[in-house]
Structure 1
Amino acid sequence: MPSIKRIMRAFTPVRASWKTIIEKFEKLAEPYTSKGLREQIIDMVQDFENHSVKELMKLLVDVKLKM
């Protein structure tokens, strides 16, 4: 059985492109958000170093929950 260190060295994470991340976010968030809200969230996350968690939370308040 290979050691955990050997397994971890062999594991090469594949990073998703920003385009792929946005496409996945759009697909998952569409039932719960408007197009405008998704665009605002994407824009803020893309430039998050210039925003606060508090600002992001203000946007997320408008996400609609489905029960």
Structure 2
Amino acid sequence: MTTHITVEGMSCEHCEQTVEEALRSVQGVTEASADRGAAAATVEGDVDVSALVTAVEDAGYTASA
């Protein structure tokens, strides 16, 4: 299953990597990619969207489904 979330606050490649690592730490995520230009992230796997939002927010960014 593919899930798209909005992520605000990414300003560099390091930010993208931080968001991707946070998303990959969520149980059930098989792949994650972040795009600062689009202010978004795409996640593959069977996961609850609220867990993704929480992981991104815990990493210091603003997220919404």
TM-score calculated relative to the size of structure 2: 0.32
Bigger RCO of structures 1 and 2 (CA < 8 A, at least 6 apart)? 2
TM-score calculated relative to the size of structure 1: 0.31
Rg bigger for which structure? 1
Higher strand share: 2
